[in-house]
Structure 1
Amino acid sequence: MFIVSFPYAVHQGGYWAIFAMLAVAGICCYTGKILVECLYVTGKDGVKKRVRTSYGEIAEQVLGKWMGKVLVSSAQVIELLMTCILYVLLAGELLKGSFSTKSMPLSAWICLSTIPLLFCSFLKTMRRVSFLSLWCSIAHMFINIMIILYCLTLVHQWQPLAVKINPNIWTVPISLGIIVFSYTSQIFLPTLEGKMVRRERFNCMMHCTHIAAAVFKAVFSYIGYITWGENTQEVITNNLPRTLKIAVNVILVVKALLSYPLPYFAAVEIIEKAFFDKKTIFPSCYRENVSIKWWGIGLRALLVIATTLLAIFIPHFALLMGLIGNFTGTTLSFILPCVFYLSLKRDELHWYSKLWLLFIIFLGTLSGSIGIYYSFRALVLAFQGRSVIPWSHTNSFSKFDDMAANETLQISIMGG
């Protein structure tokens, strides 16, 4: 869902935002690969052996059982479930915005969009999840093609000189926040690599997907921004004519619902391994033939319902998610992979590799701290009942603070 806000990132960050799309892709590709490397140890014969299966087990090895596995697993579950809630909330808002009727409040649209998600309770393998994710990607490619084709019809009004070379220094972190959260996939990578038929092709897969994503995002963002220039909206679909906007929003709803199974399935796997495994205090939710027990399906369905209820009832949820997401996102995707790799592979690394890892840790800490600050500031404004609209002059905070708070809301909605 992130790419529809990328032209606005160029609006805020200029050419620096386009450069960041390429640079962040490279960093996230690197941290993803080293995270998976931490799953393996190299024997004296030079053969690598997979001795760990999850992000939590890597953390347990480095930080100790309680500090590592429990804290990292908790952060993962929070991040994953908040992403699930975001998709449900976003689907409801898109439906309400496209087919607005006074008789159906937002909560009704959210409940309606949740009905097909109850079938996620029956998912057993990553293969099924991958199939749904494939259609999710196809749906979004269709959206991107529609938007690009419409932009090409307006080539006569393109404004290439509108892209800033020296943007406002205060708006660059806004662009960076949108971009960083569009590349974070480290939570899924240990599970994904473990399910691959040919694990030796993992690095090749990472290179191909990140290069393709970086190039497409840069081109899409540039074309989208020069089409509308300073009138570029936070979500590019808002610049489209009404009929096309409704069509794109409906497809976005489908994409949001197809995006739900991946974080949901990853969260279920972590919870089941922590509480419903053979070695835990609760009995396993699987039979000997690997089928799910009826009460296991019921618990999974309750988790879907819980994400729906949280999307409806938590006040200022998007802002709260921005606060927690800025912490868990940068921690899990930038900082911890480098910390774990330094700890587990330090004897195998050259000094320049260690220096590069330390730089990524610093960058993740800096961007996360900035995101947490603005998310917290926006949350304070919201709980005080004060406007976070950038053109509002009712707050006692400065205009810049209001703008930063509003943009944090946009980042949390689009990136989580």
Structure 2
Amino acid sequence: MWGKLLMKSLGKRLQSLVVKSNCTNCGNNQHKSSDEENCNVCLGESKECKCVHNTNHNNNNNYNYNNSSNIEGGTNMMMETKNDASDEDDEANSSFTHAVINMVGMLIGLGQLSTPYAVEQGGWAYSSTLLIGLGVMCTYTSHILGKCLRSYPTKLRSYADIGGQAFGSKGRLLVSTFIYMEIFMALISYTISLHDNIVTVFLGTTLKLHLEKLSTPQLLTIVAVLIALPTMWIRNLSSISFLSTVGILMSVVIFVSLAAAAVFGGVLTNHSIPVFQMHNVPSISGLFLFSYGGHIVFPNLYKAMKDPSKFTKVSIVSFTIVTALYMIIGFLGAKMFGPNVNSQFTLSMPAKQIITKVALWATVLTPMTKYALEFAPFAIHLEHKLPSTMSGRTKMVIRGCAGSIFLLIILALALSVPYFEHVLSLTGSLVSAAVSLILPCAFYLKIFWGQIAKSHLVLNFFLITLGLFLGVMGTISSSRSLVENFQAHHSN
């Protein structure tokens, strides 16, 4: 596939070069101007140039196709194209299996901790319907993101690029805002999770630092974040990728710990799960939406594949695995802990058991491995904005200081609003609904308008409407719960 793209791109560049050179030799300036414009239009739309001037130029004896400057320019152009293609080939080294692992690792995270709570609060009928339904819908939206990328294979490389292609500079700005909001709010959720679980890990531990306004759990959280702070100075992407791999491993450990607690930990799976709890539907929808939110990274996974034509199959396999894991974790945890299940099931596991300690430590370490990876988009954007004359060391210092300040702001907000399920639900409703459902459908409709079958038009408008409904209802519900809990906490 990449060979075909290379030859097509090379052919178009050489064709454009020849046309411009021929027009330069033409004595008619008006002819030259109009023909160049027409050729540029044809080539810009990726069409074969069939303009009238081709015939005229072929019949004109004044053209010299062996012009040495044309040969030299064509050779340089060819070398540039080959170098660009070589860079892309170096990046596109991900196999099908590797792509599936990356996508599953991207999707499995904090969502798995809250799934048992969501199943218990929403009821098994609603939860199973929404888990499977969202899995299918998000698979489809990842598929149409791949179609958008295939429509402009050399131009679109990221989620923001697709937004810019569909809606211009304002679209790119809006999409970038949603991307940074998701990263920011997800990091707050990770830090809240760190705070909640580190308390249980060091249960009974007291730090006497004579700081009246800070409790021991808050001090422990600050210490953990300060330990993770140096990772914000990492500039090497391979080191950041290593941290990401450790985070994926911790997610696997958490899942295995829950299963081990059911089999070896003496926890009975005898609790009944309600069928349907209507009053909890809006907030629970946000938790499930957050669990499937990973679309901002999918274009990067697509571009990293050796064979991007298999991206849809990767999405199907990945979302099938993730949906199955969520179903197992959600229903197993709800059956194990019943109405007393915590918003993070690790806090409901039997105390003082080795299995529980392992799960808690894995949950504490997971956020500490995520900070550098989540901050990377900010860091890359920041470095691009810095003057090119600035030294690498200075850029590293600016990047590290900005990352450290950013993490400390995240820490302060997380300690001020320690309500994991409400923040997670708000993130899912306010941001993930847009990134995973609404925006991909809007991109697809805008880019392919006029080429879409009526059934697909109806489907995409339905998904946009559903995403808006779940997003608005969930945002209102989770925001209200967040404010109520915050006021109750401070009044006490």
TM range (shorter): 0.7 to 0.9
SS for the counterpart of 2:153 is strand
C-alpha contact (below 8 Å) 2:289/2:428 kept by paired residues: no
Equivalent residues, number: 367
Alignment correspondent of 1:294: 393
Map Cα deviations across residues 160-202 of structure 1 (whole Å, 9 max, x no partner): 7x2333x121122333221111010011122232233443332
Taking only the aligned residue pairs, the percentage that are identical comes to 22
Alignment of 1:90 with 2:90, yes or no, is: no
Alignment of 1:11 with 2:120, yes or no, is: yes
C-alpha contact (below 8 Å) 1:88/1:256 kept by paired residues: yes
Alignment correspondent of 2:417: 316
- 1:208-357 to structure 2, matched below 5 A, reads 208-244=317-353, 245-269=356-380, 271-272=381-382, 276-277=383-384, 282-284=386-388, 293-314=392-413, 315-316=416-417, 323=426, 326-357=429-460
Cα separation, 2, equivalents of 1:200 and 1:59: 21
Gaps of 5+ in 2: 1-109, 209-215
Give the C-alpha shift of residue 339 in structure 1: 0.5
SS for the counterpart of 2:296 is coil
Alignment correspondent of 1:54: 158
Give the C-alpha shift of residue 241 in structure 1: 1.6
SS for the counterpart of 1:332 is helix
Give the C-alpha shift of residue 343 in structure 1: 0.6
Alignment correspondent of 2:90: none
Worse-matched range after superposition: 106-115 or 314-323? 314-323
Cα separation, 1, equivalents of 2:389 and 2:263: 53
- 1:10-409 to structure 2, matched below 5 A, reads 10-12=119-121, 13-41=123-151, 49-65=153-169, 67-100=170-203, 101-103=205-207, 105-114=216-225, 115-125=227-237, 128-153=239-264, 157-159=268-270, 162-165=272-275, 167-244=276-353, 245-269=356-380, 271-272=381-382, 276-277=383-384, 282-284=386-388, 293-314=392-413, 315-316=416-417, 323=426, 326-381=429-484, 385-386=487-488
What is the root-mean-square deviation in Å for CA atoms of aligned residues? 2.9
Cα separation, 2, equivalents of 1:20 and 1:155: 31
Cα separation, 2, equivalents of 1:151 and 1:164: 20
Map Cα deviations across residues 70-106 of structure 1 (whole Å, 9 max, x no partner): 2221221222133234323432442233214332634
Cα separation, 1, equivalents of 2:269 and 2:202: 31
Cα separation, 1, equivalents of 2:198 and 2:395: 31
Give the C-alpha shift of residue 113 in structure 1: 2.0
Cα separation, 2, equivalents of 1:234 and 1:363: 25
- CA spacing shift, 1:375–1:163, aligned 2, 3 Å: closer
Higher CA-based Rg = 2
SS for the counterpart of 2:278 is coil
C-alpha contact (below 8 Å) 2:287/2:425 kept by paired residues: no
Map Cα deviations across residues 310-335 of structure 1 (whole Å, 9 max, x no partner): 23433337567765653222112211
The amino acid of 2:387's aligned partner reads: P
- CA spacing shift, 1:95–1:30, aligned 2, 3 Å: same
Cα separation, 2, equivalents of 1:220 and 1:323: 22
The amino acid of 1:246's aligned partner reads: K
C-alpha contact (below 8 Å) 2:189/2:423 kept by paired residues: no
Gaps of 5+ in 1: 42-47, 288-292, 389-393, 396-416
- CA spacing shift, 1:223–1:135, aligned 2, 3 Å: same
C-alpha contact (below 8 Å) 1:32/1:186 kept by paired residues: yes
C-alpha contact (below 8 Å) 1:81/1:267 kept by paired residues: no
Give the C-alpha shift of residue 32 in structure 1: 2.0
Alignment correspondent of 1:404: none
The amino acid of 1:25's aligned partner reads: G
Map Cα deviations across residues 326-385 of structure 1 (whole Å, 9 max, x no partner): 3222112211110010010123221111111111101110111012112332344356x3
The TM-score, its normalising length taken from structure 1, stands at 0.79
Give the C-alpha shift of residue 213 in structure 1: 0.7
- CA spacing shift, 1:284–1:365, aligned 2, 3 Å: farther
